[in-house]
């Protein structure tokens, strides 16, 4: 085996040192081949009806590198709520800054050269990029989320995607207002359930909030992931959360796992529904997603699987009776019952979102084409919510760089 060791790169992703054998180089067109969920979950079939045109998804995360070849033209507008990012939200910030780009690609990635690179569930939708950070920010994390949700609503979001968790079931009063504002303005909010491998056994806010479509994760067999999904009665649907690939800032790609990835897949499918039924309100969009899911057990909703496995084609094509109310509840109604006596001054009474911890970045090896590698030791990495212990594959056209990481998300 030959291996060329290169020097650490300051500012790169903190990675562990397990190199993984490859028999052939993984170019960008092979990345498309890895997207098994496009066929398995009815997404490709749904594209015969719509590809998400006319719908805007807000990605509230670490910022989106819109210069990536698979994301060019996807960002309609953006902002920064951390106080340390770019005004347009298109400069990745904070620990695990690649996270937002990876998330965005699974929602709206457009690939390139016809059939290469990452394509999202809704490749003709556009996004709002809202950058935030859990370390180094000048604004408290809870306040960042509240500000981000409100800004997304004001700037035309039809769907909001949140691949993060507060790691508690409760949330601050400021979230009542922001998420209530989204509800009042007919915006569908999609949130990650979190990952058991990182200690989140039970889902936390925003996935516990009434009206929010919570996404759990399954492996390739459709079984709840032992590492990349948490359990809770608020889970709406399950989506793929293992063996995922996503765009990585700078034109590369990453293989990853976690409900961070399952969430934008579902957010993109929600965009397909909103595109296919432009006059349908958020309550009926969510109901359609739930009603067309494939149940996994006899209990629906099930505390582990929710309403079942997401089915994109059924969601855009099935005959589903209309409902008056969101089957997942209403934050406005919850506030009336449970927030009586709270004052506007009680903004963050429950403690902040736990910040991720990040090891110094180290890039440790490159695998030449046609060569294999042997594993070495692992070092931990902690990052934004939704990721579980995962293998990360960084791929540049013409060369392959493979890393193994141990990740612990925010949740």
Active site residues: 61, 99, 260
Longest Cα separation, the chain: 68
**Helices 259-276 and 282-291: angle between axes, nearest 10 degrees:** 120
**Which tokens sit at 241?**
């959360």
**Which tokens sit at 26?**
């993984």
Separation between Cα atoms, residue 261 and residue 323, nearest integer Å: 29
Separation between Cα atoms, residue 74 and residue 128, nearest integer Å: 9
The DSSP string of 98-112 is THHHHHHHHHH-EEE
**Which tokens sit at 82?**
């951390």
Helix (H) or strand (E) holding 75: strand 75-80
Which of 410, 411, 392 has the alpha carbon at shortest distance from 402?
A: 392
Please give the distance of CA 59 from its chain centroid, rounded to a whole number: 8
**Which tokens sit at 336?**
């009336």
Separation between Cα atoms, residue 284 and residue 288, nearest integer Å: 6
Separation between Cα atoms, residue 262 and residue 240, nearest integer Å: 5
**Which tokens sit at 105?**
């690609």
Other Cβ atoms within 10 Å of 379 Cβ, number: 16
Separation between Cα atoms, residue 329 and residue 233, nearest integer Å: 12
């Amino acid at each position: 085996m030959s291996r060329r060791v290169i020097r650490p790169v300051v500012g790169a992703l903190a990675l562990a040192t397990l190199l993984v054998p490859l028999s052939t180089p993984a170019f960008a067109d092979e990345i498309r081949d890895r997207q098994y969920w496009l066929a398995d979950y009815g997404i490709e079939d749904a594209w015969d009806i719509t590809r998400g045109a006319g719908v805007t998804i807000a990605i509230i995360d670490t910022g989106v590198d819109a210069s990536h070849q698979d994301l060019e033209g996807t960002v309609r507008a953006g902002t920064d709520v951390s106080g340390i990012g770019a005004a347009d939200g298109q400069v990745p910030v904070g620990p695990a800054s690649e996270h937002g780009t990876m998330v965005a690609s699974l929602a709206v990635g457009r690939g390139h050269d016809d059939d290469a690179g990452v394509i999202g569930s809704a490749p003709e939708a556009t996004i709002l990029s809202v950058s935030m950070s859990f370390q180094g920010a000048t604004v408290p994390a809870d306040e960042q989320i509240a500000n981000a949700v409100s800004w997304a609503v004001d700037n035309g979001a039809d769907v909001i995607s949140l691949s993060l968790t507060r790691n508690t079931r409760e949330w601050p009063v400021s979230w009542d207002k922001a998420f209530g504002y989204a509800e009042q303005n007919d915006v569908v909010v999609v949130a990650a359930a979190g990952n058991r491998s990182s200690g989140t056994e039970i889902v936390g806010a925003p996935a516990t909030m009434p009206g929010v479509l919570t996404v759990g994760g399954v492996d390739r067999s459709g079984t709840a992931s032992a590492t990349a999904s948490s359990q809770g009665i608020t889970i709406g649907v399950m989506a793929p959360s293992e063996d995922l690939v996503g765009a990585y800032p700078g034109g590369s790609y990453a293989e990853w796992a976690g409900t961070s990835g399952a969430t934008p897949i579902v957010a993109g499918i929600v965009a397909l529904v909103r595109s296919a039924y432009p006059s349908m309100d958020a309550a009926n969009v969510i109901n359609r997603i739930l009603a067309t899911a494939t149940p996994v057990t006899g209990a629906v909703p099930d505390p582990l699987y929710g309403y079942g496995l997401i089915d994109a084609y059924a969601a855009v094509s099935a005959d589903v009776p209309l409902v008056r109310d969101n089957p997942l509840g209403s934050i406005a109604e919850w506030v009336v019952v449970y927030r009586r006596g709270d004052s506007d001054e009680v903004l963050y009474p429950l403690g902040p979102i736990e910040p991720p911890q990040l090891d110094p970045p180290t890039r440790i090896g490159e695998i030449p084409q046609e060569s294999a590698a042997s594993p070495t030791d692992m070092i931990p990495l902690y990052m934004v919510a939704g990721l579980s212990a995962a293998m990360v594959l960084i791929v540049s056209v013409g060369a392959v760089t493979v890393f193994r990481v141990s990740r612990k998300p925010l949740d």
